[in-house]
Amino acid sequence: MFSFFTRKSKESLGDDASMLQTDIHSHLIPAIDDGSRSMEESIALIKMFEKLGYKKLITTPHIMDKAYGNSKESILSNLEKLKHACESENIALTIEAAAEYYVDEGFMKLIEKSELLAIDDEYVLFETSYIHRPIDLESVIYNIKTAGYKPLFAHPERYKYIKDPQREFYELKEQGVSFQVNLNSFIGYYGKQAQKHAMFLHENSMISFLGSDVHGEKHIESLKRVFKNKIYHEIMDNNNILNSTLS
């Protein structure tokens, strides 16, 4: 595969997020899902992102019928509070919000109403049960596209129902799905199967976005290890990673 990076530019990639620039998956708005629990924690985490070399965060709170009753309005309202807190701390990093949608009945209704918080007003980040594949997944993907958005599958490497990655991932690609893989998956943070599937997606040049999926400090500490690992350079070289296009 043609490499965009010369030897010199690979070396300049460094051991931080400067090439990614933008993170598109995190849970940083305080006390609205299973991520940050307080404004103080959110500020501390965002400062850590800044030190890692990120320039922009598109944080993505869960929207899930039976767990997190967030809405487009509530997320944007709480985002403003977070942005004001960041300004008072002189944080230069840009913060926006989208959402991570769980495939359930509520999500289908939101698609019909076009009441979605999309990444860059384009990509709808969605997730499913880790254990059971939704029987109507193809319909969900079709409806997202019909509504004028691009379906972006959150951490596909983590779904245990994926038994045949060669067939199942390619089928999803053919349906117009893009893949967002968690950086920490590449060093085994979520287990061996997730690491194996992340490597499959990388080796077959199927990754469009890399995400941190930060819920707390432990995820950022793990990210530091990823950026120092040679796999980070290899992923950037072998895939058309689009994070920096959102900055």
Model confidence over 85-106: pLDDT tens digits? 999 999 999 999 999 999 999 9
Tell me the domain boundaries of the chain: 7-246
Model confidence over 175-218: pLDDT tens digits? 999 999 999 999 999 999 999 999 999 999 999 999 999 999 99
Q: What is the CATH number of domain 7-246?
A: 3.20.20.140
Model confidence over 136-181: pLDDT tens digits? 999 999 999 999 999 999 999 999 999 999 999 999 999 999 999 9
Residue reference for tokens 């300049």: 12
Phi, psi angles (nearest 5°) of residue 211 = -125, 155
pTM exceeding 0.85: yes
How many beta carbons lie within 10 A of that of residue 73, not counting itself?
A: 10
Query: Please, are residues 95 and 86 in contact by the beta-carbon 8 Å criterion?
Result: yes
